[in-house]
A and B are shown apart, each in its own frame.
Chain A
């Protein structure tokens, strides 16, 4: 007799949807990927037929996503995935505008190659990863995670990436390394939100985030380079971003250029902006409300219009308590929100 046990972080059978369809679809997408890229390359030529003013209107080359090879998630996750179109059109990435649809609209000429991710600070082996290194230095694997935004909506995203722990091990932190300080690219020429206060929401750039080193070593912490089988699009944080699924989304810093190992707790962007609303830890916690809205439940974005009944209870640590609660034993999570 087989006794099947399910961990709390996994989901109930009744929420299972068309995972087979998803896998078939991914195969199809993989096959179609090159076709899609090719058709994009050819489009300026056909646009020329109607384009009387010639060169003046030639659009900038659009961002292209490449297919990735990776170890697929082994059927452990049973919640309905958020469709790719929604994951890539509903983004908080103020560097490309504060409205949800702006990052997708304003980021398509973003250049990610060449890229430099610099790992520095209290490490024995400081290193810099170039664009190609992001995809080749570590084995890539798929991780399907819930993403819970501090604004009380959530998604389920099939990320591709590698464990942050692998990167930490490679850098060999010294005994003084207590925290990791992350930094997003600062490039006002490419990122309109960094040029304009109106577009960028009055944030001081570059965007910075941080983790305690034991949080960074937790196997769930992911450096993501792709989603839905392809490299990340700019609006989701290309070419490389952090994904910390048990924390509110703003901790998962995008388009990372620097990871510095430090001794003291580093400053973090939203905490600097409103310390009473956003803490350093920002663990998903239904018991501690945001001062201006409840965090007890969330709206899960999948398919369907406004009539989709998608409000579900929020779980402590976003449902990953089994794996991460130990990190915070003895801490008052109301104080360290």
Chain B
């Protein structure tokens, strides 16, 4: 049941994805600047961009299993874009914390990143995301050859760190984070063979 998408329609589809990713973000900051996001706009922008980044990382992980299973190879052409939007949302999330939560108190920012395990975990995920975003440039990808795939397999770790960061940040309402753990487990389930291969390699040494 392979669906093929004509070469011509790809740019339109890409424009649609750009719109779907950017519109909520612009809408969010418009509301935040004009004080229309309820009692605490700071909390609102931090949560929205954080959950957005996590959702986009998980969507990026869904693409290759979907493309393989249903022979939707055109989907692979959207993966980098979605990954880069995950990075964009993650960047906004981190900057929201720095600009609006701790309000440029750099000492407090650094202290929080190192002293609070859930922020340490979130920051680690973000630093890895930076590495992936930088190496998404075609030229670098070609230069890196096989190592590129090795580096980009860190997406699995990033997604796990992001889910832990979410789970750890809530006060008591753990059902939503648990749903994210389940989704992560399912996405890793699709990669069972690959992961088992790594495990065998690791233990045969």
Say whether A299 contacts B35, CB under 8 Å.
no
A249 to B91: give the CA distance in the assembly, Å: 32
| Nearest CB of B to A208, in Å | 15
Is A304's CB within 8 Å of the partner chain B? yes
* 24 intermolecular pairs with C-beta atoms under 8 Å apart: A87-B39, A89-B38, A90-B38, A90-B40, A94-B172, A98-B173, A198-B173, A198-B175, A198-B176, A201-B173, A292-B116, A292-B169, A297-B105, A299-B101, A301-B40, A303-B35, A305-B36, A306-B29, A306-B32, A306-B33, A306-B100, A307-B33, A310-B103, A311-B103
Contacts of A292 on B, CB cut-off 8 Å?
Answer: 116-118, 168-169
Say whether A100 contacts B40, CB under 8 Å.
yes
A101 to B38: give the CA distance in the assembly, Å: 7
Is B102's CB within 8 Å of the partner chain A? yes
The residue of chain A having its C-beta at the shortest distance from the C-beta of B100 within the complex is: A306
Is A202's CB within 8 Å of the partner chain B? yes
Is A112's CB within 8 Å of the partner chain B? no
Say whether B172 contacts A203, CB under 8 Å.
yes
Is B4's CB within 8 Å of the partner chain A? no
Is B45's CB within 8 Å of the partner chain A? yes
Contacts of B111 on A, CB cut-off 8 Å?
Answer: 294
Interface size on A, residues (CB 8 A): 34
Contacts of B38 on A, CB cut-off 8 Å?
Answer: 86, 89-90, 100-101
Chain B interface extent, by class: 35 or more
A198 to B176: give the CA distance in the assembly, Å: 8
| Nearest CB of B to A23, in Å | 24
Known contacts A306-B41, A306-B96; 12 further A-B pairs (Cβ under 8 A): A89-B38, A98-B171, A153-B43, A202-B172, A274-B172, A299-B103, A305-B35, A305-B36, A305-B37, A306-B32, A306-B45, A309-B103
Is A57's CB within 8 Å of the partner chain B? no
Contacts of A98 on B, CB cut-off 8 Å?
Answer: 171-173
A273 to B171: give the CA distance in the assembly, Å: 10
Is A26's CB within 8 Å of the partner chain B? no
A289 to B112: give the CA distance in the assembly, Å: 11
Say whether B39 contacts A90, CB under 8 Å.
yes
Complex interface residues of chain B between 52 and 95 (CB less than 8 A to chain A): none
Is B195's CB within 8 Å of the partner chain A? no
Say whether A294 contacts B112, CB under 8 Å.
yes
- 3 residue pairs, one from A and one from B, having the closest CB atoms: A90-B39, A201-B173, A305-B35
A101 to B45: give the CA distance in the assembly, Å: 14
Say whether A305 contacts B33, CB under 8 Å.
yes
A137 to B72: give the CA distance in the assembly, Å: 73
Contacts of A202 on B, CB cut-off 8 Å?
Answer: 172-175
Is A293's CB within 8 Å of the partner chain B? yes
Which of A203, A274, A299 has the most B CB atoms < 10 Å from its CB?
Answer: A299
| Nearest CB of A to B6, in Å | 43
Is A197's CB within 8 Å of the partner chain B? yes
Is B22's CB within 8 Å of the partner chain A? no
Say whether A294 contacts B173, CB under 8 Å.
no
| Nearest CB of B to A250, in Å | 10
A87 to B39: give the CA distance in the assembly, Å: 7
A89 to B37: give the CA distance in the assembly, Å: 10
| Nearest CB of A to B160, in Å | 19
Is B131's CB within 8 Å of the partner chain A? no
Contacts of A299 on B, CB cut-off 8 Å?
Answer: 40, 42, 101, 103
Contacts of A289 on B, CB cut-off 8 Å?
Answer: 115
| Nearest CB of A to B39, in Å | 2
A296 to B98: give the CA distance in the assembly, Å: 16
Is B108's CB within 8 Å of the partner chain A? yes
Contacts of A305 on B, CB cut-off 8 Å?
Answer: 32-37, 41
Say whether A201 contacts B102, CB under 8 Å.
no
| Nearest CB of A to B171, in Å | 7
Contacts of B168 on A, CB cut-off 8 Å?
Answer: 292
| Nearest CB of B to A207, in Å | 12
The residue of chain B having its C-beta at the shortest distance from the C-beta of A85 within the complex is: B39
Contacts of A100 on B, CB cut-off 8 Å?
Answer: 38-40, 43
Say whether A311 contacts B105, CB under 8 Å.
yes
A94 to B118: give the CA distance in the assembly, Å: 23
A307 to B41: give the CA distance in the assembly, Å: 10
Which of A202, A273, A303, A306 has the most B CB atoms < 10 Å from its CB?
Answer: A306
A273 to B105: give the CA distance in the assembly, Å: 32
A201 to B176: give the CA distance in the assembly, Å: 10
